[in-house]
Amino acid sequence: MNAYDFKVKARDGSEVALADYKGKVLLVVNTATGCGFTPQYKELQELYDEFSAQGFEILDFPCNQFGNQAPGNDEEIHTFCTGRYGITFPQFAKVDVNGENAIPLYKWLTENTKFDGFGKSPMSLILSGVVKRTDKDYKNNGKVKWNFTKFLIDRNGEIVGRFEPTNMKKLKDAIEACL
């Protein structure tokens, strides 16, 4: 099984086969419009601008599971993201990334990756405390911990990396290596 085996819902409710992205490097991201990490949309758009011509795609999945920080419907979220951050990469329907209602793509991503920590920044310490309140065993499972967790998929549809929201520095290098 790889990323190309999954189908997801577009903002308009239509089904999109990830096989349509075969041969591209994919960055799958769960996002939120009211999060402290929301400004990462700017950095994501910069990565998209720099690498999309080389076969790089960002697949944006709004998610309201973490602090209810993605309110609104799909169109309201899209309008916010395009208006405030000028995003041009694909944005899909709002999803659950954890739990029994998680979409199959995210079940596969979380079952096949490991949480490696948030790093050592002050924001990492804050986030660890917040996550620990809802998931006492958070260090030992693959669940998505917060908004803006990123999964890097290579051109063969295989997972090559997981990047927590506090870890944008290593992401660009990993994308370049896949391209």
- Whether 81 is a known active-site residue: answer no
Q: What is the 3-state secondary structure (H, E, C) of the chain?
A: CCHHHCEEEECCCCEEEHHHHCCCEEEEEEECCCCCCCCHHHHHHHHHHHHHHHCEEEEEEEECCCCCCCCCCHHHHHHHHHHHHCCCCCEECCEECCCCCECHHHHHHHHCCCCCCCCCCHHHHHHHHHHHHHCCCHHHCCCCCCCCCEEEECCCCCEEEEECCCCCHHHHHHHHHHC
> Where in the sequence numbering do the catalytic residues fall?
35
